[in-house]
Amino acid sequence: MRGSARGFALGLGLTNECNLACSFCYRDPNRIDRLTLDQVRAIIDRLPVRSVNLGTGENGMHPEFLAILDFLRAQPVKLTIKIPKTTPIEVQTSVSKCRPSASNIIE
């Protein structure tokens, strides 16, 4: 059922890491949380997912971000990604290679 219209629209916070210090942000700057590639795979394998949005924190700071992105690109899901302008250029380049029909990059 993965990828079907009846699946979940899933929002994943891969990390709470961020290289900004916004005054309105509620995250604890002394704590770093991350989902691993194995955890993302387990979620996608166990739930009927039709779309995935990667937001929360600066995804490009996650050490497995590009591997997670490659995995999600290979799935039959719509993928949206929040990319701040502070994201490293190599991550921006990799994100821009997503299938246009399955990705939406927000600056």
Q: What is the pLDDT of residues 18-62, one digit of tens each?
A: 877 778 888 888 899 999 999 999 999 999 999 999 876 788 888
Q: Provide the β-strand partners of residue 72.
A: none
Which domains does the chain show, CATH number per domain?
Answer: 8-106 (3.30.750)
Token pair of 22 as six digits: 């916004």
Q: What is the pLDDT of residue 59?
A: 81
Cβ neighbors of 30 (< 8 A, separation 6 or more) are none
pLDDT for residue 4 is more than 60 = no
Lowest mean pLDDT among 57-61, 67-71, 81-85: 81-85
Q: What percent of the chain has pLDDT above 70?
A: 70
Q: What is the pLDDT of residue 103?
A: 42
